[in-house]
Amino acid sequence: MPLKAIFNGYFRSGTTYIWYTLKKFNPDKLVFYEPLNPNLFIYIQNEKGEKNSLHGKYLWKEYLQMDNAFLQKLRINHPNLQHRTEIPRNYKILLDYLEVFNSINRDVILQTNRLHFYYKIIAEKYNIPIFHIIRDPIEVYLSLINTRYHNFPFFNKIIYNTNPFNIKDIAVYIYMYYGIPYYLNANRIKEFFYFHNRKKMFLVTWIICNYEAIKFLEDINSLETLINYNKMLYDKSFINCLEKYNIKFEILSFRKKYIESKLYKSLQRDFEKLAQELDLKEKYFYILDKCF
């Protein structure tokens, strides 16, 4: 079976670093970058032969190596493409899409950011390891803000919604399927989704995405496939796990942790308070326990 493993994590959790390292040390495998990105074909077209401005890397080479028939199958089956959603809404369409990668006559690894709610379905069909990547939520939040201003340095001072990561769509998905935040009613939905507190929306999505993913791994006794971005420098036990699946990995140059400044500590207090307000404190600290 060509599909050998999936590496998934919330935005800005170290998934690009993981992708690049996997690609570097596994030249015998095709390691595809963000196949569920709703703007996949726009990026492939716009960045053909060019390094990505944010990451400084050639992100889409694996797609460009494939023939037009393969790319056309991806376009037809892409589960997020029609309505530009961040999270797939139909698991059958998602599985059809993954089957396109599974049909390649070469070992395949997928690095994704949008599969948190589908681990069980994927594991049941393909019987492959799913590695989940987590990172300190404050670092993730600050990185998202820095990324947003990197991509839209002027307009983001005016318009918040010009974000390359459509967190609002994930929040809508979570509200539709999980009823979270619990306190929302018909009169408060607009307030939350359109005149929202961006910290609150981020925290809801970060908590539920990571909680659902980690709980699945815990339920199947597979926490060894949980990769902690903050501990990678000194806890390399996950590398032994990768070796079991014939996947090579070495730690490359590494970004330093955000300094625990006044801003960091202020956000720490804010997030704890918001988690309590959202009735998600237990889930929040469950994930933090895995981060530190």
Can you give the pLDDT at residue 157? 40
Q: Which of 89, 80, 114, 93 is nearest to 9 (CA)?
A: 114
pLDDT tens per residue, range 185-217 = 656 665 666 545 788 889 999 999 999 999 999
pLDDT tens-digit series, residues 213-261 = 999 999 999 999 999 998 887 777 889 999 999 999 988 776 656 667 8
Tokens linked to 145: 């803000």
Separation of alpha carbons 148 and 205, rounded Å: 17
Q: Provide the pLDDT for residue 48.
A: 73
Which residues make beta-bridge pairs with 6? 110, 130
Sign of CA dihedral 134, 135, 138, 139: negative
**What is the spatial distance between Cα 282 and Cα 265, in angstroms, rounded to a whole number?**
20
pLDDT in tens, 274-284: 999 999 999 99
Tokens of 196: 């929202």
CA distances from 103 to 118, 128, 150, 175, 218 (A): 20, 15, 37, 35, 30
pLDDT at 181 over 90: no
- Residue 8 pairs in a beta bridge with 112, 132
Residue 186, SS3? coil
pLDDT in tens, 19-52: 999 999 999 999 999 999 999 998 888 877 666 6
Q: 66: alpha, beta or left, given left = phi > 0 and alpha = psi -120 to 50?
A: beta
When pLDDT is cut at 50, 70 and 90, the band that residue 6 belongs to is very high
Q: How far apart are CA 229 and CA 2, in angstroms?
A: 27
What are the domain boundaries of the chain? 3-291
Q: What pLDDT shows up at residue 124? A: 93
125-166, pLDDT tens digit by residue? 999 999 999 999 999 999 888 876 555 444 344 334 435 578
For residues 257 and 287, the model is more confident at 287
Q: What is the tens place of the pLDDT at every residue in 51-94?
A: 666 666 788 999 999 999 999 999 999 999 877 889 999 999 99
pLDDT value, residue 180:
84
Residue 234 is predicted with a pLDDT of 76
Q: At what angle do helices 262-277 and 281-291 cross, to 10 degrees?
A: 140
| Candidate CATH numbers 2.30.29, 1.10.10, 3.40.50, 1.10.1740; the one for domain 3-291 | 3.40.50
